[in-house]
Amino acid sequence: MAECAERQAAVDRSLEAGWASIGAGALEAAVAAVRALEDEPSLNAGIGACFNRDGVIELDAGAMEGTELRAGAVGAVRDVRHPVDLARTILETGPPVLIVGEGASRYAREHGLQMTEPSTFETERQRRNLEQMLVEADTVGAVARDAEGHVAVAVSTGGMTGKLPGRLGDTPVPGAGFYAKNGAGAACGTGLGEAFIRLALCHLAIVELQHGMSAQEVAEGAVEYLGAKTGAKGGIIVVPAEGDPAHAFNTPFMPVAMRVG
């Protein structure tokens, strides 16, 4: 399918962006990859994000690094050009972890981040999805491990087509849609956000890595648990403290790209 090929190509391009930044550390690489994904109109993050029930685009993002367990997240913003940049800024400036709505936009302006008109994110594809109520609930994300063994994760999404205004899924919730911890690994999820929140699925994945499960076992087990407990569809990507990254999903398609060096 042409749409699947387009999305896979977008993910492949983001891998190159992340890999080009890996020398600056895991967090830099993860954010760079997601920043690139926010510019891909075929995906549901940044440009190309879905509309809520009122025909408005509200964006969520998160980031976490495993050294000190610092996390930052943003929810329901409409005018921040790259929500993942704001999530990283919150991570680095603290003490807040999650800021939403107009307060998040104000925080972005105060810290000199790029703002934009809400129309920047609109696409005809997503307008048709809203008119036909073709539900899309995708998240873009990246996990990374650098040469020092530090791990990090970054995520971004437009949420779910036709969602309630102000609705937040798992993307801006540490432990639900993303988590990172040195010595264990980093994980990022995509799918029905409410299910990931209920299960705290990405934190659970990191706990299982700490217990000695392989990354592939963790990924497959997380998706199986997601389906068994909630009936939800989704996927997860995992990078362990040592060894190769892994992924699993119970949806028809989930584009993934990885590199080990």
What b-and-e string marks burial along 186-208, b requiring 16 or more CB atoms within 10 Å of the CB?
A: bbbbbbbbbbbbebbbbbbbbeb
Q: Quick check: helix, strand or coil at residue 46? A: coil
Is-contact 140 49, C-beta < 8 A?
A: no
Is-contact 76 100, C-beta < 8 A?
A: yes
- The CA distance from 186 to 165, in Å, is 30
User: CB 147: neighbour CB atoms within 10 A?
Assistant: 10
- The CA distance from 251 to 191, in Å, is 9
CA distances in angstroms from 78 to 70, 153, 214, listed in the order given:
25, 23, 39
**Minimal CA–CA distance to 96: which of 3, 172, 156, 179?**
172
- The CA distance from 139 to 61, in Å, is 9
Q: Is the peptide bond before 172 cis (omega within 30 degrees of 0)?
A: no
Catalytically active residues, by annotation: 139
Q: Give me the helices (H) in the chain, please.
A: 2-20, 26-37, 83-93, 101-110, 124-132, 193-199, 201-210, 215-230
